[in-house]
Amino acid sequence: MSSRRDFLQKLTGSAIAFQFAPYLTYADNKKALQQYDGPVLRVAIMGLGSYANRVAEAMRDCKKAKLVGVISGTPSKIKDWQSRFNIPEKNCYNYDNFDNIKNNPDIDAVYVITPNALHRNQVIRVAKAGKHAICEKPMAINAMEGQDMIDACKKANVQLLVGYRMHFEPKTLEIIRMRKEGELGKVLFFQGWCGFTIGDPNQWRLNRQLSGGGSMMDIGIYAINGARYMIGEDPIWVTAIETKNNKEKFKEGVDETIQFQFGFPGGAVASCLSTYSMNNLDRFFVNGEKGYAELQPSTGYGPIQGRTFKGELTHPHVTHQTVQMEEMAAILLEGKKPLLPVDGEEGLKDMKIIDAIFLAVKTGGKVALKW
């Protein structure tokens, strides 16, 4: 893995640094980053599970974002995080008292990294406390809940962002640049494979009340979101079919494998798969009249590997969550406009599509999407 210093040096001199300088913190001048003395986004993380640990460790390398607080229902986790990340007692909360964060001027935003079904109420509470909310994806368990979250944040005059880390990944952005500049020609087809064999049958991701579903609410959303940003449009119809071979592990309402298809207003189509029962599925492929692009792996923690009809993509890897938090700090503190949106409205679009996929599975028909 390249070091952060190597990444900055190489990316500054690369084509993507030129093309996306307005959008990528890590394409900025290395010296400017090292000498950065501007505002810092002070973040509390809610939910101290495995992914929260990944985010926290990645934030050690951020210049514009800093972990300053925690919210957890497990006192032992709080003590551990206090020790590891030097978090003061006054910035530690549990799920009962975290509304008091409104009286803490040392916290600007709360990153909600809890089971999907908890997101709505927790984000609304964060908004009412007057803090910006960053919510892990999927933002909720359906579009209605997502809209409630957007409305609450607007009412409280705070921002809502969703943890779309791939929206800042350099190889992904290079393919989008190629598509936007016409190098691929008219886009005709997208394929997205997202899946792995899930383990512990008792984990919350296989509990409908906490997850809102199964593989679609965890890994399938990457293909949904990827189809949209690779093609550059929102789908206007969806079809889907579910396959369930293990009904003991995958209870009613917890999908094991779903194959789904989209149609887009420009004529492109997408064919995708989301599964909890197959490994080695992490691939995006986009085909246009003039050329193609492929990412495999396409959404894992990295390194992402990519190639196009012009050759291999060689942009160096940097920890996705570091870039994400650096960029989100710039959005919240500086009003920066990312190339790919990461706001609540972006998250809501994916929720509307997931609702449509589940409806298509249930009815066996084509479901129209209206925007």
Q: How far apart are the C-alpha atoms of 123 and 117, rounded to whole Å? A: 11
Residues 151, 218, single domain; the answer is no
Grouping H, G, I as helix, E, B as strand and the rest as coil, residue 274 is strand
Residues with a catalytic annotation lie at 137, 222
Please indicate, yes or no, if residue 180 is contained in any of the structural domains: no
Phi, psi for 351 (deg, rounded to 5): -65, -40
Residues 191 and 237 in one domain: yes
Given a contact cutoff of 8 angstroms between Cβ atoms, the answer to whether 260 and 254 are in contact is no
DSSP code for 64? S
Same domain, 206 and 154: no
Locus of tokens 């952060």: 4
Q: Give start and end residues of each alpha helix (H) in 86-205.
A: 119-128, 143-155, 170-180
Q: Please give the Cα distance from 357 to 165 (Å, whole number).
A: 23
Is residue 49 located within the same domain as residue 143? yes
Give the residue ranges of the chain where pLDDT is below 50.
1-31
Out of 128, 162, 196, a domain closes at 162
pLDDT, position 8: 38
pLDDT, tens digit, for every residue of 168-206?
999 999 999 999 999 999 999 999 999 999 999 999 999
Instruction: Please indicate, yes or no, if residue 238 is contained in any of the structural domains.
Output: yes
Structurally, how many domains does the chain consist of?
A: 2
Same domain for 213 and 279: yes
**Same domain for 104 and 195?**
no
Length of the chain equals: 371
Q: Looking at the structure, do residues 140 and 106 belong to the same domain, yes or no?
A: yes
- Among candidate residues 146, 162, 178, the one where a domain is terminated: 162
Mean pLDDT of the chain: 93
- Say what the pLDDT of residue 36 is: 86
Contacts of 321 (CB under 8 A, 6+ apart): 54, 55, 58, 59, 165
pLDDT digits (tens, 9 = 90+) for 205-256: 999 999 999 999 999 999 999 999 999 999 999 999 999 999 999 999 999 9
Query: Residue 220 is inside which H or E element, if any?
Result: helix 220-231
Residue 326 forms part of a structural domain: no
Domain that includes residue 249, residue range:
186-289+343-368
CB 225 within 8 A of CB 164: yes
Is 337 inside a domain boundary? no
216 and 146 within one domain: no
Residue 7 lies in a domain: no
In a domain, 93, yes or no: yes
The angle at the Cα of 166, spanning 143 to 196, to the nearest 5 degrees, equals 80
- Name the strands in the sheet holding 92-93, side by side, starting at the edge strand that comes first in the sequence: 92-93, 65-71, 41-46, 109-112, 132-135, 160-162
Torsion on CA atoms 5, 170, 113, 62, rounded to nearest 10? 20
pLDDT at 171 (0 to 100): 98
Instruction: Please tell me whether residue 141 adopts helix, strand or coil conformation.
Output: coil
The domain that contains 244 carries what CATH number?
3.30.360.10
- Where are the strands (E) in 219-280, listed by range? 237-243, 257-263, 269-275
* 194 and 151 share one domain: no
DSSP code, position 315: P
CATH no. for residue 77? 3.40.50.720
276 and 239 in a common domain: yes
Question: Based on the domain organization, do 108 and 156 belong to the same domain?
Answer: yes
> By three-state DSSP, how is residue 161 classified?
strand
Same domain, 70 and 109: yes
Give domain status of residue 181, yes or no.
no
> How many CB atoms neighbour CB 303 within 10 A?
15
- Residue 256, in any domain of the structure: yes
Q: What pLDDT, on the 0 to 100 scale, is given for residue 16?
A: 40
How far from 327 is each of 36, 130, 153, 157, 176, CA to CA, in Å?
Answer: 14, 21, 20, 20, 18
Assessment of whether the complete model's pTM goes beyond 0.85: yes
In this prediction, residue 33 carries a pLDDT of: 54
